[in-house]
Structure 1
Amino acid sequence: MKFKQSLIDNHSVLLNATAADWRDAIKLGTDMLIASGAVEPRYHEAIISSIEKMGPYIVIAPQFAMPHARPENGVNRTAFALVTLTTPVKFDGEDEPVDVLVTLAGSTSDEHMEGLMEVTQVLEDENSDTGINLDKLRVCTSREEVFSVIDKALAQPA
């Protein structure tokens, strides 16, 4: 599984989007994966339901969320979607609003963990207070710029 290749194959990059709230922001990502056939519509419903039950477990760093649910909730193949927002959205119980979302649909638990690690590798920045650097994605205005950021990050020694 490769983050960049999935974004290309699924046409799942949406930059500087607008969302009314966190539910709308998640839908932007899952809609792209539904359109590509990577997930079924029930995958989106499973993510929303899980957040309503367990809280915003998908907010894994300040201003960054990784919407996901279990593979059996409609994942047809492992895929990613990237959404950046012009105006951040608040999740109940979180202090920091979110403006970068990477939706992950892992077809198995192993694929899910591999995907999480790859996205983390792209975003990590040991010089940042939070350990990640979202600005490198926030400034992107095209899919090509996103792909360049990913290529540069993955070319670095881990």
Structure 2
Amino acid sequence: QLSLYEHLVPAYFRILFDSHLENPYAKQIMAEYEELYYLVAKGLAPFEALLNKPIPPNELAYFTIHFGGQLKRKEPMFRTLKALSICPNGISSSLIMNHQLEELFPMIQFNRIHDLKQAKKIDEQEYDMVFSTTYFHTAKKLYLSAPLLNYVEQEMLKRKVFDDFAIEPLNKAVEVSNLIKIIARNATIHHEKELYEALSRSIYGAGLNQLSGGKVLTELLEERFIQFTNEKLEWQEAIALAANPLMKAGYITEHYIASMIDNVHEMGAYIVLAPKTAVPHSRPEDGVKKLGISLLHLENPVDFNLGEEQDEDRQVQLIFVLAAIDSVGHLTALKQLSEILEDEEKIEALIATKDAAAMHQKISQIIEK
């Protein structure tokens, strides 16, 4: 929250007074975090309305990195090592660098510094290592780093730090760095960075960035999870029926369904995200076992007005149930679903569809375009 405040306040005044901020990493952020960038832009619509001005892409790119760091943040752990994070390029670049370092090294406590002179005044006994965007004279281990690293650069930096400080990786799955060590013992590596990238792509696939957003909508919304009904249902019954395929497949528990219904009781019809369309969901810890999406098509609309001022858009005929296991794995699918829900013609086309196979094909055609 504090880091968001640190960025939000100056961003507000920059945009308000047309003080443009150059972001040398904007293109890289928009390319590597495409889905998150899109969703952050959508989420900042109220901030944009407050300013009565569009948020420039450079500013949106900085917000994307901030929120990306929060999505990936895990529970705090005991940190035995201390480090300086030096980035004289500005507060925003410094925030980007610090977010990434904290994600890569949760076992290290970082002290973020903007000024080299200030860093020189800190007693070397106060830290074990230094990460810096520029050379810094120190007797401690120095790691030169760009504020924003790609996947391969992250892995190589982790390998150096883990080796230097005998840190055990938290993830015991296949580690590219371990493969590199084995290869180095048995062969001469001439292009280490290229080898890292080739192995990473082979093991993890093309989407190397952890915030790339995972599977597309039609991978999560399998044909077996699409239902049609001509029953006249209350909204609670409709949510339960829409979620039923996921529960039968072991993706969610009954508690998750109850939690989605409780959320609507507590917060109102916030799940009606577009005309005639609702997207009920709850937190992963409320009973999600596997990432998935289901869809219920209602011949007879379900009333989600809930005693509020009557709105025809809350006569719902499409209910997408989202079951997410974390904050990032569904971002691609959510972006694609958002793009569908922005277009009333696309919504009407889905409502006009009459069977599961045709629905799955229609959604595939829409997102391919």
Distance, in Å, in 1 between the alignment partners of 2:278 and 2:237 is 13
Distance, in Å, in 1 between the alignment partners of 2:240 and 2:257 is 7
Superposed CA RMSD: 1.8
In the TM superposition, what whole-angstrom CA distance separates every residue of 1:65-90 from its partner, at most 9, and x where no partner exists? 00111111111111101111111111
2:265 to 27, 52, 57: 52
**Which portions of structure 1, spanning 4 or more consecutive aligned residues, are displaced by more than 6 angstroms?**
none
- Equivalent residue number for residue 66 of structure 1: 279
1:95 to 311, 330, 333: 311
Q: Which has the higher strand share?
A: 1
- Equivalent residue number for residue 152 of structure 1: 365
Distance, in Å, in 1 between the alignment partners of 2:346 and 2:295 is 15
Displacement of 1:19 in angstroms is: 4.0
Mapped pair 1:106 → 2:319: no
Which runs of no fewer than 5 residues in structure 1 stay unpaired? none
* 8 Å contact from structure 1 (residues 63, 100) kept in 2: yes
* 8 Å contact from structure 1 (residues 121, 153) kept in 2: no
Identity within the alignment, %: 28
Displacement of 1:123 in angstroms is: 4.2
Which amino acid is 2:217 matched to? F
Mapped pair 1:8 → 2:226: no
Secondary structure class of the residue paired with 2:236: helix
Secondary structure class of the residue paired with 1:48: helix
Which amino acid is 1:8 matched to? E
* Greater relative contact order (Cα < 8 A, sep 6+): 1
Distance, in Å, in 2 between the alignment partners of 1:83 and 1:105 is 14
- Equivalent residue number for residue 335 of structure 2: 117
Q: Which has the higher helix share?
A: 2
Displacement of 1:112 in angstroms is: 4.4
Secondary structure class of the residue paired with 1:133: helix
* 8 Å contact from structure 1 (residues 68, 103) kept in 2: yes
How many residues align? The count is 150
In the TM superposition, what whole-angstrom CA distance separates every residue of 1:32-70 from its partner, at most 9, and x where no partner exists? 110011111111011011111111111111211001111
- Equivalent residue number for residue 41 of structure 1: 254
Which amino acid is 1:5 matched to? E
* 8 Å contact from structure 1 (residues 15, 140) kept in 2: no
TM-score between both structures, scaled by the size of structure 2: 0.38
Secondary structure class of the residue paired with 1:82: strand
Which runs of no fewer than 5 residues in structure 2 stay unpaired? 1-214
* 8 Å contact from structure 1 (residues 67, 101) kept in 2: yes
* 8 Å contact from structure 1 (residues 104, 115) kept in 2: no
Distance, in Å, in 2 between the alignment partners of 1:13 and 1:54 is 27
Which amino acid is 2:327 matched to? S
- Equivalent residue number for residue 140 of structure 1: 353
Which amino acid is 1:120 matched to? S
- Equivalent residue number for residue 245 of structure 2: 32
Distance, in Å, in 1 between the alignment partners of 2:341 and 2:267 is 25
Which amino acid is 2:325 matched to? S
Which amino acid is 2:337 matched to? V
Larger mean Cα displacement after TM superposition, 133-142 or 50-59? 133-142
Secondary structure class of the residue paired with 2:290: coil
